[in-house]
Structure 1
Amino acid sequence: MSETTPIRRVAVIGAGTIGASWAAYFLSRGLEVVASDPSPGAPDMIRRMIDSAWPVLQRLGATEDADPARWRFEPDPVRAVEGAQFVQESAPERYEVKQALLPRIAAVLPEEVVIASSSSGLLISRLSEGCRFPGRCLIGHPFNPPHLVPLVEVVGGPGASRAAVDAAMGFYRAIGKHPIEIRKEVPGHLANRLQAALWREAVHLVAEGVASVADVDAAISEGPGLRWALMGPHATFHLAGGEGGMAHFMHHLLPAMQGWWATLGNPDVTPALQQQLIAGVRAELDGKSVAELAQRRDAFLTALLELRRRT
């Protein structure tokens, strides 16, 4: 893929929650989208996602040439990728589904067209098996919802070409995303592993009776989570080191933290503990529906992103 040939047409293969959100975002950046999904209800889902997301995307800086109607639906994924300059695959998170799908679309695409999978944790070295030009297949994992959250994890894996990784990083960056390159293939990539580590300790603290589910959640949302919206853990601890920065943190605070590491838990999530967590979340949310929570989350993310643009 040449940097002198800007991408104008993207194929979105798999148009569930993630794929439809990707489609809305691509449209907001002035791109043409061809979407494909085996579900007969997919076109309506895409249309609803675009309609609901468009006002927010305009607030967050849709390009002047953005057109919410510049998309079409093609049920056959092979036909959908014809003429595409970039493919964002968002099929169900199962090896057997993606391993059957990717070789079909790879077979008809030129070598320079990147195929990026939205997989949240699968290994691209396995997903690309049987693909024509497997070196152009990689992970392009967004965070939910993709039309709002800037992060995209790009994982090339051991067989990826440098040109494909650079092309994907450049494309995501050009459309306003914040891509990060995961340099070594590991299950769950990077951000989900960090989430998993934090949740493991959160579950352990509930299981040990240290705090309620609601208080464990509040310990993040009313505390360090607010700081994490601005900077990550390393930069946060650099700031905690005062004028001495990370060097001072290492000298004065690292020993205590290493002592805590030794006591971190690895809980056995038994059926009884699962029910305790479920009941705790229900009590914490006090009857709020998933739709209500998602609406609140998206409104908060929109306001936060607007604030970040001004600072």
Structure 2
Amino acid sequence: MTQTFGTAAVIGAGTIGLSWTALFAAHGLTVRVSDPRPDLGDALVQALDAFAPHLAAQGLDTTDLVDRVHVVSDVTEAVADADVVQENGPERIEFKKDLFAQLVRGAPAHALLLSSSSAIPATAFTGDLDDASRVLIGHPFNPPHLMPLVEVVPGERTSEDAVQSAVAFYATMGRAPVVLRKEIPGFVGNRLQNALSREAVYLVQQGVVTPEDLDAVMKNSLGIRWAAVGPFLGSHLGGGPGGYRHLTEHIGVSMQQMQLGQPSSDPAVRELVVEAVEKAYAALPYELLAEIADRRELAVLAALKTAHRNEKEN
């Protein structure tokens, strides 16, 4: 099915919802935003102003972003003429059950109903819906107006047409949609992040490395490699001419013998890690650290975009 997207409804205007709003508006969509927060109007203006340079750096037109965004107090009114709905509510199953029942009733029959859920699969909250065929997960990495990845995760009752429409929609928004073939809590990105974070915490708890030095290890090795080629292609290249097969049959044997650590759940030990991280990064305010991170991430994305363009031309 071919679908055009002119109007988006963003339900929930926290960090993720505000970011989605800016991205959708920068791509020319009319965006209706609903959230019970009393400062919604001010929050939207501030977010659009803050995100505009990031969007402009991606080659998007940020002129009159505010004019494309409309505050709507009622969810049903927000979705009444939407082509796509992006939900960004709390990570609670019962909340999502009630909200998506309302979205199915209120949105047009052609509208995609997408959830930014970080861990809860669609099947967990769509079992009682009259029509779950157009409900699925569109999980971004934060913030979605910068990070390209969107994990598209259909539920058991999601139609293939809805999956393909979601992929087309996110691609139109300049994102990199990846369809997961099976539901699993946390999806893929968060599970990988969690696995690495657990080992990072363990190494700091054991006194092997400080938080800032662990970050330095990542930034100067795996972070660069994985941004360029990902774990599997990186391993395939690491095996030399013999590729991934050679790696698994030789180096992989010794790597498999390495036992990963189990971080302590003792509150006192956890507090030591928290204090170490705070000490490492206390010299700069949060706003400046976030600005530095955004600037570096944009630089990485721009470099990769240039590299990909050159590869196609050569």
Normalised by the length of structure 2, the TM-score is 0.93
Q: What is aligned with 1:296?
A: 292
Quick one: which of 200, 203, 218 aligns to 1:202? 200
Quick one: which of 166, 169, 177 aligns to 2:167? 169
Tell me how large the CA RMSD over aligned residues is. 1.7
**1:180 paired to 2:172:** no
Deviating more after overlay: 216-225 vs 26-35: 216-225
CA contact (8 A) 1:121 1:187 kept: yes
CA distance in structure 1 between the partners assigned to 2:30 and 2:182 by the alignment: 32
Q: Which amino acid aligns with 2:197?
A: W
CA contact (8 A) 2:25 2:65 kept: yes
Return the offset for 1:67: 4.3
Q: What is aligned with 1:134?
A: 132
Deviating more after overlay: 75-84 vs 157-166: 157-166
Q: Which runs of 5+ in 2 are unaligned?
A: 308-314
CA contact (8 A) 1:30 1:66 kept: no
CA distance in structure 2 between the partners assigned to 1:86 and 1:106 by the alignment: 12
CA distance in structure 2 between the partners assigned to 1:289 and 1:67 by the alignment: 28
Quick one: which of 252, 261, 264 aligns to 1:265? 261
Return the offset for 1:239: 1.4
Deviations 1:242-290 (A, max 9, x none): 2222222222221111111xx1122232101211111110121133222
Match of 1:87, SS state, is: strand
Deviations 1:86-123 (A, max 9, x none): 00011122223222211111112233321110011112
CA contact (8 A) 1:111 1:133 kept: no
CA contact (8 A) 1:11 1:35 kept: yes
**1:29 paired to 2:38:** no
Deviating more after overlay: 237-246 vs 193-202: 237-246
Q: Which runs of 5+ in 1 are unaligned?
A: none
Q: Which runs of at least 4 in structure 1 moved beyond 4 Å after TM superposition?
A: 63-68
Q: Which amino acid aligns with 2:234?
A: T
Normalised by the length of structure 1, the TM-score is 0.94
Give matches, 1:100-111, under 5 Å: 100-111=98-109
Deviations 1:288-309 (A, max 9, x none): 2222221111111111112122
CA distance in structure 1 between the partners assigned to 2:260 and 2:212 by the alignment: 20
Q: Which amino acid aligns with 1:265?
A: G
Q: Which amino acid aligns with 2:265?
A: V
Deviating more after overlay: 22-31 vs 47-56: 47-56
CA distance in structure 2 between the partners assigned to 1:77 and 1:208 by the alignment: 49
Q: Which amino acid aligns with 1:134?
A: A
Q: What is aligned with 2:43?
A: 45
CA distance in structure 1 between the partners assigned to 2:168 and 2:64 by the alignment: 20
CA distance in structure 1 between the partners assigned to 2:241 and 2:63 by the alignment: 47
Deviating more after overlay: 89-98 vs 275-284: 89-98
Quick one: which of 206, 224, 231 aligns to 1:226? 224
Q: Which amino acid aligns with 2:23?
A: Y
CA distance in structure 1 between the partners assigned to 2:38 and 2:62 by the alignment: 32
CA contact (8 A) 1:12 1:90 kept: yes
**1:235 paired to 2:233:** yes
Deviations 1:50-84 (A, max 9, x none): 11111221221215998442111101011100110
Quick one: which of 57, 65, 80 aligns to 1:59? 57
Match of 1:116, SS state, is: strand
CA contact (8 A) 1:139 1:156 kept: yes
Q: Flag the 1:61–1:77 CA change in 2: closer, same or farther, 3 A.
A: same
CA distance in structure 1 between the partners assigned to 2:130 and 2:64 by the alignment: 33
Q: Which amino acid aligns with 1:18?
A: I
CA contact (8 A) 2:115 2:136 kept: yes
CA distance in structure 2 between the partners assigned to 1:300 and 1:278 by the alignment: 24
